[in-house]
Structure 1
Amino acid sequence: MLSSRSAPRRRPAFALRIFALCAIGYASHAVSDAKREPWASSYQPPASLPVLIRGADLLTGTGERLEDHDVLVREGKIAAIGQDLEFDGAEVVEAKGRILTPGLIDVHSHLGVYPSPEVEAHQDGNELSDPVTAGVWAEHAVWPQDPGFETALAGGVTTLQILPGSANLIGGRGVTLKNVPATSYQAMKFPAAPQGLKMACGENPKRFYGSKGQAPTTRMGNLAGYRQAFADAVAYRQEWDSYASKQAAFDGRKDKKKEDPPTPPKRDLRLDTLVAAMKGEVKVHVHCYRSDEMVNMLDLSREFGFKISTFHHGVEFYKLSEQLAEEGICGALWADWWGFKMEAYDGIQENIALADRPANSCAVVHSDSEEGIQRLNQEAAKAMASGQRAGLHIAPERAIRWITANPAKSLGIDDRTGSIEVGKMADLVLWNGNPFSVTGKADLIWIDGALAFDRQRGDLAPRSDFLLGQPTREVLQ
């Protein structure tokens, strides 16, 4: 029973440890493969005990800071937020003086498709057979045993989008995962999250294919390649719409024996994806650095009727921040990467702070790195500091949105995660200090209310098979 607190109660320390073991069985709680559609998520949260996190300072992800507040977690959801809460049978976590945030979300990762160790056998992020490979899905190459998932979790990352690489004009579909141990990507797949579509403008496609004597070799060729692909998709959609009309007319006939049913068009997996983008069924994510190329991509989206969800990398995002905020487009940006190629030359360290200024802005800190994903909080701290040096005051309760609520919006899952609000998934991180500091570390992490990480317990979650190592020759003998 939920009630006001009359006197503090402390649970034995071992009880929290027993509760922690509930997190180990994520994969075993997956939906049976026999009961799901092909490629659908089989993830289900494991059963978990009620948890009462008491006395924490909350950075909610909504722009608020709530000091000395309690959070009650039940059945994988945030059940109550307030002060002096009690709930019979809940495991109590004393969090006085510590900061509680939503779980961190990385919108741009290649974990699992470019896993560790970095060897040729693991290079599955770019399907380089054609400049337009919209038919491939990154999830079909995700290796759940990538040790990078574990190190990302230790940094507070509970959700991440895995994208194809950027050598292609249109590289294929991305997938959003819950960062839980599993033996298949289906058991990690965020339920009902929209897929992403990875597109890339600028140097990468023209450099890769141009070096092989293939088109595109110029930025003109890039745009022609996108336009032709979407033009083909428009014609493909019309074929299927025509077929659907004929099939509906056939189904409405009383005497179907006088005429054969219509023949459906041949499926094209590449065009399926582009039609889905035009219908808004997948989120379009565009790797794009320069402001002029972002404007070109906006014109492309208008010509073919799709919406860009997010520009990734965008070192010149600050030049268009007002316009992009008005159009509801997020900027997934680095704190200080710049200058490593010509299209990244005009980057500034105030980029994220300036991208965050307009009303309705959606600034996001992303990693694009198996190492950077381990410290998204520190990358956000660098962006805060750069903004403050430029005279832009950014409070922690605002900056936390860059790695929680805003990436959830970019991925189309903000109705379920990314903030500490009643009814949302209990994806939470309790920090041992200021998360916007190099000394701030994640102490406890819950995913859907189950304890997934405890800094005091290195063996809480199953280890990657790769990290377990190989038996010695003596053992084999």
Structure 2
Amino acid sequence: KFPGARYGLKMACGENPKRVYRMRGGPSTRMGNMAGYRAAFIQAESYRRKWDAWNKDHKGDPPERNLRTESLAEVLRGNIYVQNHCYRADEMAQMLDLAHEFGFKIRSFHHAVESYKIADLLAKEGTSVSVWADWWGFKEEAMDGIQQNAALNQQAGGRPIIHSDDPGGIQRLNQEAAKAMYAGQRAGIPVTRDQALRWITLNPAWAIGLDSIVGTLEPGKMADVVVWSGDPFSVYSKAVQVYNDGWLAYDRTDPAHQPRTDFELGQVPAPGSDR
């Protein structure tokens, strides 16, 4: 993991756990999922209390270790951040109720296709949403998406994050953020370029607890910098230089600072190209 990042617990709502775990004796309904979460956290709370009591004075034998429960106990202590896969607004609200019941925080809802419906609630809770710019409709719980999802969460005072679920989209998150920004602006939502840039920089850094060392260009933070040939939100702009913690990792004009693979052996630049 990234040095300094909190450990994360991936949880899932809705159709994925229903589909996967019902064949293994697990819940097959959304109600069953929630009952399973509550049962697990009830057990984890009891486990946490026993260990916290023993750790105060180490008297007697320690409680029996349970590795399945230990991760949830660390969530309850605030040492592990919850990253929650969840699409529907009602299920996100239910998960927030669960978090209140057991005293933990959900750091980010991932995918969160319907988060615009409860943007004010998410902002109040301080829970970020990691969303797509314009991808939905591929299964039942992902049907009610809109292009203004990130913008509406921003307008409500939340922390939108533009994410990807595939190796292609993640390489072009600047363009994904641009699409979401312009979709909001076309709908009359006053999203600024600085806010949209935070969707792929500071906000995701915050979601994994790294906003104190990465995510913005400030003295004392790691110098992770991309120098663009033009507007970073333009499809025509190219990354000219990339710095990782101040070290030049890529230079478009210098072959010595460009990645090489065996697949490139024998290849020559196309006529008229700049590579």
TM-score (norm 1): 0.53
Q: Residue 234 in 1 paired to residue 45 in 2?
A: yes
1:358 Cα deviation from its structure 2 partner: 2.1
The amino acid that maps onto 2:29 is: T
1:373 and 2:170 correspond: yes
Partner of 1:33: none
Does residue 264 in structure 1 map to residue 74 in structure 2?
A: no
Amino acid at match of 2:98: L
Letter in 2 for 1:291: A
Question: Pick from 54, 69, 80: which aligns with 1:243?
Answer: 54
Pairs within 5 Å for 1:129-148: none
In structure 1, C-alpha distance between the alignment counterparts of 2:137 and 2:14, rounded to whole Å: 15
SS in structure 2 at match of 1:241? helix
When the two chains are superposed, the root-mean-square deviation of aligned CA atoms in Å is 1.7
Summarize the alignment of residues 108-119 of structure 1 with structure 2, pairs less than 5 Å apart. none
C-alpha distance in 2 between matches for 1:430 and 1:287: 33
Q: Are the structure 2 counterparts of residues 213 and 448 from structure 1 closer, same or farther at C-alpha, using a change threshold of 3 Å?
A: closer
**Structure 2 match to 1:322:** 120
Tell me by how many angstroms 1:458 deviates.
Answer: 4.8
Determine which of 16, 28, 40 is the counterpart of 1:217.
28
Task: Provide the identity percentage.
Answer: 54
Residue 274 of structure 1, aligned match among 57, 72, 75: 72
Aligned length: 264
Q: Give the structure 2 partner of residue 414 of structure 1.
A: 211
Match of 2:229 in 1: 432
Matched, 1:286 2:80: no
Amino acid in structure 2 at the alignment position of 1:217: S
Match of 1:204 among 5, 16, 19: 16
Using structure 2 for the length normalisation, give the TM-score. Answer: 0.91
Structure 2 residue identity aligned to 1:411: I
User: Greater strand percent: which structure?
Assistant: 1
Cα 1:231/1:369, change in 2 over 3 Å:
same
Give the partner amino acid of 1:347. Answer: G
1:153 corresponds to = none
> 1-side partners of 2:219 and 2:75: how far apart?
32
Structure 2 distance, partners of 1:310, 1:246, is 36
Q: Alignment partner of 1:309: what SS?
A: strand
Computing the radius of gyration over CA atoms, which structure comes out larger, 1 or 2? 1
User: Larger RCO: Structure 1 or Structure 2 (Cα < 8 Å, ≥ 6 residues apart)?
Assistant: 1
Q: Is the contact made by 2:251 and 2:258 (CA closer than 8 Å) also made in structure 1?
A: no
Q: Which has the higher helix share?
A: 2
CA contact (8 A) 2:154 2:191 kept: no
Structure 2: runs of 5+ lacking an equivalent: 266-275
1:59-98 to 2 correspondences below 5 Å: none
- 1:396 aligned residue: 193
Q: Identify unmatched segments of 5+ residues in structure 1.
A: 1-188, 251-261, 472-477
